[in-house]
Chain A
Amino acid sequence: MIHSLFLINHSGDIFLEKHWKSVIGRSVCDYFFEAKEKAVQPENVPPVLQTPHHYLISVYRDKLFFLSVVQTEVPPLFVIEFLHRVADTVQDYFGECSEGVIKDNVVTVYELLEEMLDNGFPLATESNVLKEMIRPPTILRSVVNTLTGGSNVGDTLPTGQLSSIPWRRAGVKYTNNEAYFDVIEEIDAILDKSGTTVFAEIQGVIEACVRLTGMPDLTLSFMNPRLLDDMSFHPCVRFKRWESERILSFIPPDGNFTLMTYHVSSQNVVALPVYVKQNISFLETGSCGRLDITIGPKQTMGKTVEGLTVTVHMPKTVLSANLTATQGNYTYNLATKVLVWDIGKLNPQKLPNLRGSLSLQAGAPRPEENPALDITLKIQQLAISGLKVSRLDMYGEKYKPFKGVKYLTKAGKFQVRT
């Protein structure tokens, strides 16, 4: 299936290669570089490319290209999903996924790749299994290793892969037993010029951090599971139990993982936490424009809106911006033409406002379209859909774990057209 993998950085250098079958020369990447040239933006490189003898399937993440070479028919999503898993694993092991980190840990990464695929077919992709085979580096261990000549490779071979629950490693022990669940909801919305909602929906995800000794069996139930319309689960969740009782019953993996993602049924009207009043205009003469943006709270359920930012991708002809913000700071990047207004907390008494003038390149035609505003925000302790966890129970172990649930609402792809 997957023949080879090349890791390529932003400027087009191959800094790691791994072959699971016979070796394929680097020159195969030339086709990719050609496409990359053509696409200008790295995001625009087509994920699937055809060359005379091979097919190239790539993903772009964290400013790196993960480029895989396949020779025969294979579901492209299979490869794409796997490449993202590779990136996730690197992220999981080293805290970030970047060229520097991979270069520093090149042997570990190589060992990981070796374990993840056999003959191009995924072998072990569960983080818990991998961590048993190849231990992630910690400062303490690397010090010890250099002194004693010890290694990162586990000397006990993983049992996880053989057990009926391959996602959990065996023999987990903690002095503090804790289980935390973050219910994070994102609002995707498109508002039109007049502020009317063109499209809005809520997507949620439950991220878990479970550090429990032994083999705990957890059940998580919701006050209002009917809100959930469509969801996907971590393999540990017993689907049948969910179907019959709407309860999440699972033996969790150790550590951080995504328990489920969900979509809130579209019948419910989405409560938008903020409204935006804006006026951007470019004058026909004099090569200048005006900008005036005000943001106010709409339905915040009594919570404060934090981390509010507004991002505007200005037309190429906008040279500079001369604005005043009643709250927060704004920056205008001349190279990328991106205006960022970092507001922070939204004060309902005194609405933040940004106004002023834009100066345009002299002689250039008036921009056709006004730029769209991308909004980000955060509301702590609120799931905007109203979803509530009712209880979390643990079976199978005798101790009392510390349990916590946190709610967070964020703006996902929240766009205001102007």
Chain B
Amino acid sequence: MLTRVRPTILSVLRNEDLKEMLESNKESLKLEAMKRVVGLIAKGKNASELFPAVVKNVANKNIELKKLVYVYLVRYAEEQQDLALLSISTFQRALKDPNQFIRASALRVLSSIRVPIIVPIMMLAIKESAADMSPYVRKTSAHAIQKLYSLDPDQKEQLIEVIEKLLKDKSTLVAGSVVMAFEEVCPDRIDLIHKNYRKLCNLLVDVEEWGQVVIISMLTRYARTQFISPWKESGDATSFSQSLSEKKDQMEAKTYIMDPDHRLLLRNTKPLLQSRNTAVVMSVAQLYWHLAPKHEVTIVTKSLVRLLRSHREVQYIVLQNIATMSIQRKGMFEPFMKSFYVRSTDSTHIKTLKLEILTNLANEANISTILREFQTYVKSQDKAFAAATIQAIGRCATNISEVTDTCLNGLVLLLSNRDETVVAESVVVIKKLLQTQPTQHSEIIKHMAKLFDNITVPMARASILWLMGEYCERVPKIAPDVLRKMAKTFTAEEDIVKLQIVNLAAKLYLTNSKQTKLLTQYILNLGKYDQNYDIRDRTRFIRQLIVPSEKSGALNKYARRILLAPKPAPVLESAFKDRDRYQLGTLSHSLNTKASGYQELSDWPAVAPDQSVRNVEVIEPVRNLPSSPTSYHRYNSYMPDSTVTQRCYSKSGSESEEESSEESEKTSSDSGKSSSGSEQESSSESESQQKKKKKTKKAPQKKSKPAAADRYSEIPPVRWTLRASFFFPVNLACPDVTTPSFGPVKTYELLHHMTGKGLSAKYHFPRQPCLYQPSMVAVQVVLTNSSDHSLEEIHIGDRNPASLNLHCFNTIERLEPEASVTVSMGIDFSDSTQAANFQLCTKDDQFSVSIQPAVGELFMPITMTEQDFSKEQGKLLGMNETSETIAMATANTSSQAISKQVLSVANVGVVSSTQNDIHRFAGRTVSSGALVLVSLEMKESSSALLTINTEKSVMASMLLRDLKQALAQA
């Protein structure tokens, strides 16, 4: 009692007290007061009177107090607009704060204050924050866009501009929020997505889980407008048809080629099926359902079934979606049928949905199992569920003709059940079943007539009466007797039963007027004075129709044909039959009505729109990447006409023009900077290396230039962030992987022309990102025919181990004598130096060859700042650190020389350094994307401390060995 009384007494005094506390000088009192105020808000009490006292504290230093004031402000600003304006300047000031969190929270509160006057201020703040250095602030600005839009929709155009800008953002933090803003403000501006499509696909796995849901659903809509249907050539997109057309599909599949972007989306969403977030799993499932070729949709089954282990509410939604899916694709869920078995502890709506799915899954093969299961359910104590089961049995019976009789017999047995609802439901279902095949079942009708007296549920009684009337000629003796009984109880019956009595009477009058004429007239008279106007109405109508008189017109003659017309049997079908008009996983699908704001999923276009719109030509550098001033060069150097020879980190000035420009393509900006002294170095390069290079030089250059230009216009570098393993968000702190820094190319022999019967092969690592799969290392192979006859059909045969992930080159149809050709391959070494063994085949011969990579080739370079480097290094200590003091050759003391030696061993990037005696290099392993950090600290007397930080400790020790060797020799 005490606790209840106290607040009422207090509330009178409270506001005054609180005001005093808020205006006091003591911080703790203010805080206490604010806590109470927020407590009031939480309980839904009105605390708006305190607004002036609270708003004064908006600039308080105490963070908790400040936050509570913010909470209050957002809640009541709408009601106290004038006073709220007092606080605006505080936020404006905070927007300029050096601390990103303070900027973000200021924007958050400012945009939550729903006061129309400050719209221009909000707009300005949003625009500024959208260009903020911190991705966190940019994320907040994406949220603010939606708030401003709901406050003032007139700002739409300006907001779209901001959205367009934010969509280009490469931070995983921003992606989800900006897509959310896009969905809210301008979901129809699909053109804004084109350029960002591939980036979004690639970022997806690293975006936070809530953002993933939003992006996936947006991309589903996008894909349906941009790609052609993978299902059929010209397709009715929404309806999967039955097995017949599936065969046709397979035939047509040959002619259909999926857009690589379409495939990209499917590939990048697949790992998200393993997410712990049920909403993410569901959204991937719906994406596959709506976008994937039919045979691929099955991969979502297992994950959906897994969700059934989750909370009851999750089960409910998932089961609804499975119910819709199982109508069209039985095969998907049939193997998991037992997961849908009902437990007595399930809640009613779960039970009903499971029943629905089991019924959808029923076919000739499993029907006996399902019916046995249904038998248990019929006996359930939950009578509503038992009734639903009976309906399900009815549906199975109509759908599968083999079991119709069995079901019917089973249902007849249920007629003697003690529970009314069960009996009633059985009657209703039997009625429907009998309609489908009325011929042989007069026995059942008789049985039902006998039971009639014991059945009290109106619907069931009405059903039996209807059956009597409909088939009165089959039970000529019983029907009139039933009518007689009914005439006695007419007045006590429910309306629905009365209508059927009138109906029965009319039908009997027409077929057997001798026995029933008087009864009918009696019933019609009763009906005439009934309280219900429907019944009066029906009686009047029936009387006019069947009883001949002068007034009754031509209809009279047709009475028999009207009343006893053969009626089509009802179709028992699923309640989820037409749910597929809504996108799966949506609220609309769940409610089976269109929710406000529901975006229709469009049909596939007949002809694919221009694919090139998604091509990204020049990638803007990430805003706060330290290398940004120079990174433009990186891309410029891909231009075919660029003359950058002098800039390249060339090891030999005498190389041809062609080669050096090729190298310049690979030159990262960093190595470009440090290359000033490289010309002199070149002379000291070993003779043998030069020779090797000359051998190989021709082939790669032929195509490298244009190919590289094309490639890079298509594949944005963000792809490489994917490397960092799927669930591992790569953030701004982690730098982008850059194009390879240049290092001298070593060529290795793959096949000698003696053993190869004239075919010789050499390979080298071009140190370029592999085109085929990011986890592969690119390898270029130069095939030369040293024999005197031409070789045909050169291709790659068996590989060992068979699981070796290898991208073969296209078969070379013919290689003339003395000719050579360069081909590119991709090999996934899985970050190990284990050799890749495979067979190189010609038309007549097979040669086993193997490629063993040096450990340094399993990396790719990345750029990072010195700060980032130290930060990452700090995370990779202990087991992940390998270090050794090594001896340095005297020639190798200049920084150029060190860079050259290190780069010759390993494909890593130079990290620009402010300290002269420390040299840093950074890279990632190609396969797993693990960070590899190399640092070399010069000590006195030509020794140095070499440290390698990576989680791949085996690779680290191998790299250490190689580097040690390289640095020790001049």
Contacts and interface: CB of A to CB of B under 8 A. Distances in A.
The finding on whether chains A and B are genuine partners in a shared complex, rather than unrelated, reads yes
Interface of A: 1, 14-19, 21-23, 26, 41, 43-44, 46-48, 50, 55, 58-61, 70-78, 80-82, 84, 106-107, 109-111, 114, 118-119, 121-123, 125, 149, 151-155, 157, 161-166, 190, 192, 198-199, 201, 203, 215, 217, 229-241, 243-244, 249, 258, 261, 263, 313, 315-316, 365, 367-369, 371-372, 374, 393-398, 413, 415, 417
Contact of A396 (B279, B588, B877): B877
A166 B35 contact: no
Contacts of B409: none
B551 to A, nearest CB: 49
A397 B877 contact: yes
Contact of A73 (B67, B587, B830): B587
Given A17-B42, A47-B316, A119-B146, A239 B28 contact: no
B587 A162 contact: no
B672 to A, nearest CB: 28
A394 B879 contact: yes
B877 A73 contact: no
B277 A81 contact: yes
8 contacts: A41-B347, A122-B210, A123-B143, A164-B731, A198-B373, A238-B727, A239-B274, A263-B302
A132 to B, nearest CB: 11
Contacts of A243: 271
Given A80-B311, A232-B281, A16 B43 contact: yes
B863 interface: no
Nearest to A149: B28
B343 A368 contact: no
Contact of B727 (A71, A76, A78, A237): A237
Contact of B879 (A18, A123, A164, A396): A396
A19 B75 contact: yes
B770 interface: no
A107 B39 contact: yes
Contacts of A230: 302-303, 305-306
B53 interface: no
Contact of B209 (A111, A157, A235): A235
Contacts of B418: 365, 368
B867 to A, nearest CB: 14
How many B residues touch the partner, as a band?
35 or more
B302 A121 contact: no
A149 B31 contact: yes
Nearest to B105: A157
Given A41-B347, A84-B311, A78 B210 contact: yes
Interface stretch (B596-604, B623-631, B652-660, B708-716): B596-604
A198 B877 contact: no
B71 A110 contact: yes
B312 interface: yes
A240 B274 CA distance: 11
Interface of B: 26-28, 31, 35, 38-39, 41-44, 62-65, 67-68, 71, 75, 78, 99-102, 108, 111-112, 114, 134-136, 140, 143-144, 146-147, 150, 173, 177, 180, 205, 208-210, 213, 217, 271, 274-279, 281-283, 302-303, 305-306, 309, 311-314, 316-318, 338-339, 341, 343-345, 347-349, 373, 376, 379-381, 417-419, 585-588, 590-591, 593, 595-599, 725-731, 733-734, 830, 875-880, 927-929, 951, 953
Given A122-B210, A151-B31, A239-B725, A190 B312 contact: no
A266 to B, nearest CB: 8
Nearest to B584: A75
A198 B341 contact: yes
Dominant secondary structure at the B interface: helix
A369 B381 contact: yes
A327 to B, nearest CB: 25
A217 B951 contact: yes
Nearest to A259: B276
A157 B951 CA distance: 29
Contacts of A22: 78, 114
Contacts of B373: 198
Nearest to A53: B596
A316 B596 CA distance: 44
A249 B313 CA distance: 32
A75 B586 contact: yes
Contacts of A46: 316, 349
Contacts of A394: 879
A-B pairs, 6 with minimum CB distance: A149-B28, A72-B597, A151-B64, A239-B726, A153-B64, A369-B379
A226 B177 CA distance: 38
Given A73-B588, A106-B42, A125 B726 contact: no
Contact of A119 (B135, B143, B338): B143
A80 B319 CA distance: 14
Nearest to A17: B44
Contact of B877 (A80, A122, A398): A398
Given A240-B928, A396-B876, A77 B317 contact: yes
